[in-house]
Amino acid sequence: MCMKANCSHCGKTSWLGCGSHVSAVLDSVPAEQLCTCEPKVVLNGKEYPPKAK
C-alpha cells in the first residue's frame, strides 16, 4: 500500500510504498504541494513525483 511522504530533497509531498496506489494517495494533493524532483513516474498517462527516499 502506498502512503504520503515528504521528499528529502525539496520537502514537498511525494509517496512511499509499492507504487500501485500512487494516484489514490496523490490525486487529492494540490499541484503546488507536490514534489518537483525528477524523474517523474508516469502512471496511466499522468505524471507523479518520484518515490520518496
Look at residue 27 in the predicted model and tell me its pLDDT. 98
Look at residue 14 in the predicted model and tell me its pLDDT. 99
Look at residue 49 in the predicted model and tell me its pLDDT. 98
Look at residue 9 in the predicted model and tell me its pLDDT. 97
The residue ranges of every structural domain in the chain are 3-48
Look at residue 21 in the predicted model and tell me its pLDDT. 96
**Count of beta carbons in the 10 Å neighbourhood of residue 14:** 27
Task: Please give the single-letter amino acid code of residue 2.
Answer: C
pLDDT digits (tens, 9 = 90+) for 1-53: 999 999 999 999 999 999 999 999 999 999 999 999 999 999 999 999 999 98
**Count of beta carbons in the 10 Å neighbourhood of residue 25:** 19
